[in-house]
């Protein structure tokens, strides 16, 4: 299916944390480990999203501090649904109806994001995130350390591999999202939940809602 002639972009790549949903999933899990762990993990996440430190340096450290269980990741999946951006479901549906290809590319945990993706009408091959592993008792057993999405610049490699129809628009709030810019035709900084000035400064567009996204893609 090709995009309608009036669509400004044939493809849209969406971040998840603080874009589709108003939470940072790993930070949310850290809150279950008390205020000290929560503060430390949130600080690492924020610095990585601002581009102050590479995500590569803190991804595994954050999960090692938390060691989320399968049940907790299931709880996070429910939290994503509750924190979804206003209008996101309807806007994504209208984009897809217009023939725009929508992909979710996230540094979050795939097992937590998958139910949200399905709620948005995005099938499994439209979701790209980091897999987490559990043992037979549901305890944390690691994550996919080979995933480029656990690195600062890895989203660009994932987007390039998708060979999306052009022109393509990437949307996100953090420095790891801005890293997609060389792999797409334009980047929109999403500020509906958090505004990171360095990301906005390098973006082609600034949007604060999914209604604004729809207007940008389907003018």
**Three state DSSP letters for the chain:** CCCCCCCCCCEEEECCECCCECCCHHHHHHHHHCHHHHHHHHHHHHHHHHCCCCHHHCHHHHHHHHCCCHHHHHHHHHHHHHCECCCHHHHHHHHHHCCCEEEEEEEEEHHHHHHHHHHCCCCHHHEEEECEEECCCCCEEEECCCCHHHCCCHHHHHHHHHCCCCCEEEEECCHHHHCCHHHCCEEEEECCCCCCHHHHHCCCEEECCHHHHHHHHCC
pLDDT digits (tens, 9 = 90+) for 174-208: 999 999 999 999 999 999 999 999 999 999 999 99
Sign of CA dihedral 12, 13, 17, 19: negative
Choosing from 15, 27, 173, 177, the catalytic residue is 15
0.75 exceeded by the pTM? yes
Tokens 């990741």 label which residue? Answer: 73
Q: Which domains does the chain have, with CATH numbers?
A: 11-217 (3.40.50.1000)
Choosing from 17, 27, 173, 177, the catalytic residue is 17
Catalytic site includes residue 15: yes
pLDDT digits (tens, 9 = 90+) for 100-127: 999 999 999 999 999 999 999 998 789 9
Closest CA to 168 of 17, 4, 7, 20: 7
pLDDT digits (tens, 9 = 90+) for 41-84: 999 999 998 999 999 999 999 999 999 999 999 999 999 999 99
Return the pLDDT at 124. Answer: 79
Pick 124 or 173 by higher pLDDT: 173
């Amino acid at each position: 299916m090709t995009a309608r002639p009036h669509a400004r972009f044939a493809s849209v790549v969406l971040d998840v944390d603080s874009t589709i949903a108003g939470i940072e999933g790993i930070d949310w899990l850290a809150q279950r480990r008390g205020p000290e762990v929560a503060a430390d993990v949130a600080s690492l996440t924020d610095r990585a999203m601002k581009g102050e430190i590479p995500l590569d340096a803190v991804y595994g450290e954050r999960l090692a501090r938390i060691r989320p269980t399968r049940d907790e990741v299931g709880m996070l999946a429910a939290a994503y649904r509750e924190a979804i951006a206003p209008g996101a479901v309807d806007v994504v549906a209208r984009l897809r109806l217009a023939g725009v290809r929508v992909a979710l590319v996230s540094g979050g945990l795939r097992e937590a994001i998958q139910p949200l993706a399905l709620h948005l009408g995005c099938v499994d091959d439209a979701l790209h995130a980091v897999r987490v592993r559990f043992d037979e008792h549901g305890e944390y057993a690691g994550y996919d350390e080979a995933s480029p999405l656990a690195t600062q610049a890895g989203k660009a490699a994932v987007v390039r591999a998708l060979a999306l129809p052009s022109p393509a628009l990437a949307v996100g709030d953090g420095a790891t999202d801005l890293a997609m810019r060389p792999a797409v035709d334009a980047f929109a900084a999403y500020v509906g939940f958090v505004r990171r000035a360095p990301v906005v400064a390098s973006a082609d567009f600034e949007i604060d809602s999914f209604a604004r996204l729809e207007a940008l893609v389907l003018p």
